[in-house]
Amino acid sequence: MSLLENKNPEQRLMTEDSIENDPYAIFERAAETLWERTELALEKGEVARISDDAVTKLMTTALKLYAAKTDGENRTFRPVLGNYDEVVTPTEALTAVTEVLRALRLGPMEFGLWSRRRPEDYHDMEFEITKSDNTLK
């Protein structure tokens, strides 16, 4: 019997993770597995089998990681799979965003004030300065 078999599941998971060189490598495996199981649950119409608590933890985790990466690395990246709406529909996105805002007691006003342009949206733009009034166009 190995040392891992003597531990409870939580201790075993922590020990298995500490054996890895990178303790965060589990995110790659977990993300892939969660995505596959989500697709399966959606396809089979079995999302009710996934607890609200599990979805809340996943959503909170995703929000915290995305904000930390974009703010900490001073960059943005596409937060959803797909090129447009082939994976996440506008309705799905707005449903989730609306409930996140509501949970934090924020509304459209706060959302508008905190919205920001992505750096890559304006770094590639050509600005023309007019000499007559010294403004950007």
Per-residue pLDDT reduced to its tens digit, 37-66: 999 999 999 999 999 999 999 999 999 999
Residue 112 clears pLDDT 60, i.e. is over it: yes
Q: Report the DSSP beta bridge partners of residue 135.
A: 130
* Chain centroid to CA 7: 32
Q: Average pLDDT, stretch 100-127?
A: 75
Q: What is the sign, positive or negative, of the torsion defined by CA atoms of 78, 67, 16, 51?
A: negative
Residue 137 clears pLDDT 80, i.e. is over it: no
Distance CA 50, CA 38 (A): 9
pTM: predicted TM-score of the whole model, two decimal places: 0.69
Question: What is the structure's pLDDT at 84?
Answer: 87
Q: Average pLDDT, stretch 106-133?
A: 67
Residue 134 clears pLDDT 90, i.e. is over it: no
